[in-house]
Structure 1
């Protein structure tokens, strides 16, 4: 499936307002998602500090892409999910130059069921890899 704006998933995920970093889903299928984030100017990003947007915050882009993907698949309430593990995180820059424009976020579902999901993610800008890794989310089980 392809090109979805925030309105298609915003009510399904916990991220809201300025903290909703994913703007558009370019494409998605049963195991992966390609999304973009470009709405925030360099001075208005909610995770930016005086030095700029540190690359460690790109993990949040990967986590939000995973949340959007899980929400689009249905079956679990991602609003009750918690990021519980990060593995093999690699950052190729210290700070992100938001003035260079859009961030492309890819996430691939590795494992998923009603209790847990594991994703590999990568964040690029103009074809340059900025961050990658794996993350695990656990969902609250309701009876």
Structure 2
């Protein structure tokens, strides 16, 4: 995992999330199986995921999903036009260890590790922590190129 740190500008140019919805500050390390990112946007008063002035810990799933999207962009072949489009289709076994994220003073460490991968499906294990404390974790299933999985009649084969 000896890769240069990739900043928010790089991230925003490689995933569909833009402006304040691009939640990650940087990619700290990554390899073929995993990615570790850092984020400070959970403290921002204008975080688009806030509701009633708070950022619930379940919003950490979006942080993890963005880390997965960045991982996909990093794994895209150099000669491709970009990463394949992925959709988060399932979140399982998620444990929330704190009620909210906006009151966490430290930066978030967002990690995702590929458990299994096939042609159009990826299963990740993810976690969000801060200052050495686990805030949430779980598993997430991603389907790639979902449009290609439908038959001409619009039904999933």
- TM-score > 0.5, shorter chain as reference: yes
Q: Is the 8 A contact 1:62 1:122 kept in 2?
A: yes
The reply to whether residue 128 of structure 1 matches residue 133 of structure 2 is yes
In the other structure, the counterpart of 1:12 is 14
Deviation at 1:127, TM superposition (A): 0.8
In the other structure, the counterpart of 1:109 is 114
Alpha-carbon spacing, 1:88–1:40, altered in 2? closer, same or farther (3 Å): closer
* Greater radius of gyration (CA): 2
Deviation at 1:123, TM superposition (A): 0.2
In the other structure, the counterpart of 1:92 is 97
Deviation at 1:7, TM superposition (A): 2.8
Deviation at 1:97, TM superposition (A): 3.5
Matches of 1:71 and 1:113, distance apart in 2? 16
The reply to whether residue 82 of structure 1 matches residue 87 of structure 2 is yes
Deviation at 1:4, TM superposition (A): 0.9
Matches of 1:88 and 1:10, distance apart in 2? 29
Matches of 1:7 and 1:109, distance apart in 2? 24
Aligned with 2:125: secondary structure? strand
Matches of 2:126 and 2:54, distance apart in 1? 22
Cα deviations by residue, 1:33-88 (Å, 9 ceiling, x for unpaired)? 11011145442211111141000100001111111011101158556211101111
Matches of 2:143 and 2:36, distance apart in 1? 22
Matches of 2:119 and 2:40, distance apart in 1? 31
Determine which structure has the larger strand proportion and give its number. Answer: 1
Deviation at 1:114, TM superposition (A): 3.6
In the other structure, the counterpart of 2:155 is none
Taking the TM superposition and a 5 Å limit, the aligned residue runs for 1:39-78 are 39=41, 41-75=43-77, 78=83
Q: Which runs of 5+ in 2 are unaligned?
A: 150-157
Greater RCO (CA < 8 Å, at least 6 residues apart): 1
